[in-house]
């Protein structure tokens, strides 16, 4: 157990440090926003670009892992949408965003920091694969679906255009696209440029974790505990379990890439989840679910790591 805590405790202490720093006004909201932009626009793209370009020749993308993870995430997101709408009477637009909250892990900010300590040989490659399907399919699909049914006056063409604008300007998507082009064409990256990219990438894990804590500190929580519990359960329990069942049954239950993908799926949702929810009147539920899932994930992720290390998975 001490070995497991040596992995998870420092990560969540960094998140807690960011939370306390903002709550005590040691770091202001504007600074957290700037750090978040640096992470999303510079260090994470460098990390993803390096994961694709500088990995082994067979690790550019594994469609078995990516496709299985995509299938599990889309099934859960759809089920989450239906359950939130039918069981709690949430608006259709909000229900799609809550479904996304259950099925979209914070892979770049939290997932990689944890996975790289448990599976150092596979974490970077799996991060690249998951970033591709999350940013090209899962998130755009949720945005289009939410706009179409959310009574915001958007037709299909308008919803797709909005999703395309968000998608095409996403720095992570740009990084993935450039990296795939470099791999496909066979462009050689000079050593000094590679070193620079790796230096930017090395800043991603710690800064990202600090930003998660700082952003959580900016949200207020609400008493919607049944909704919160449902979303949290879907994200922390159902998502990794579904990924494990899909990938384990098709690729192998103890395959290190499968277990790495499961570990990514086990972390809490994107920190922009409340921002997306606010567009459909669901900011309070989304913010409460984000705070709750991030706190509870310390225990669920630790339990998952214990199960992996003891051979139960």
Q: Region 266-276: what's the mean pLDDT?
A: 92
The CA distance from 228 to 235, in Å, is: 11
State residue 151's pLDDT score: 57
What are 68's two structure tokens?
């299985």
Q: Region 66-81: what's the mean pLDDT?
A: 97
Q: Region 157-186: what's the mean pLDDT?
A: 80
State residue 206's pLDDT score: 93
CATH class of 2-309: mainly alpha
pLDDT band at 57 (very low <50, low <70, confident <90, very high): very low
State residue 153's pLDDT score: 52
State residue 186's pLDDT score: 82
N- to C-terminal Cα separation, the chain: 17
For the ranges 81-95, 213-227, 236-250, 258-272, the lowest mean pLDDT is seen at: 213-227
Report, in angstroms and rounded to the nearest whole number, the Rg of the chain calculated over CA atoms: 19
Domain ranges of the chain: 2-309
pLDDT band at 58 (very low <50, low <70, confident <90, very high): very low
The CA distance from 10 to 16, in Å, is: 10
- List, as one string, the DSSP characters of 30-55: HHHHHHHHHIIIIIHHHHHHHHHHSS
CA-based diameter of the chain, in Å? Answer: 56
């Amino acid at each position: 157990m001490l070995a497991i805590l040596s992995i998870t405790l420092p990560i969540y202490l960094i998140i807690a440090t960011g939370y306390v720093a903002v709550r005590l006004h040691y770091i202001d909201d504007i600074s957290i926003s700037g750090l978040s932009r640096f992470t999303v626009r510079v260090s994470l793209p460098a990390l993803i670009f390096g994961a694709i370009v500088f990995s082994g020749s067979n690790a550019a993308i594994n469609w078995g892992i990516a496709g299985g993870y995509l299938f599990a995430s889309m099934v859960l997101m759809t089920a989450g949408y239906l359950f939130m709408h039918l069981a709690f009477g949430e608006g259709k637009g909000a229900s799609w965003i809550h479904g996304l909250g259950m099925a979209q892990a914070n892979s770049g900010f939290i997932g990689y920091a944890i996975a790289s300590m448990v599976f150092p040989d596979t974490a970077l490659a799996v991060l690249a694969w998951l970033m591709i399907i999350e940013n090209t399919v899962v998130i755009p699909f949720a945005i289009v679906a939410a706009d179409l049914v959310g009574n915001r006056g958007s037709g299909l063409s308008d919803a797709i255009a909005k999703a395309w604008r968000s998608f095409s300007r996403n720095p992570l998507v740009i990084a993935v696209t450039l990296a795939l082009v470099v791999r496909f064409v066979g462009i050689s990256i000079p050593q000094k440029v590679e070193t620079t990219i790796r230096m930017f990438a090395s800043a991603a894990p710690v800064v990202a974790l600090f930003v998660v804590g700082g952003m959580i500190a900016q949200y207020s929580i609400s008493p919607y505990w049944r909704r919160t519990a449902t979303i949290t359960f879907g994200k922390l329990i159902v998502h990794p379990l579904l990924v494990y069942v899909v990938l384990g049954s098709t690729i192998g239950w103890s395959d290190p890439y499968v277990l790495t993908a499961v570990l990514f799926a086990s972390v809490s949702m994107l920190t922009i989840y409340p921002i997306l929810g606010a567009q459909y009147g669901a900011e309070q539920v989304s913010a409460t679910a984000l705070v709750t899932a991030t706190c509870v994930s310390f225990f669920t992720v630790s339990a998952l790591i214990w199960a992996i290390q003891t051979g139960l998975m």
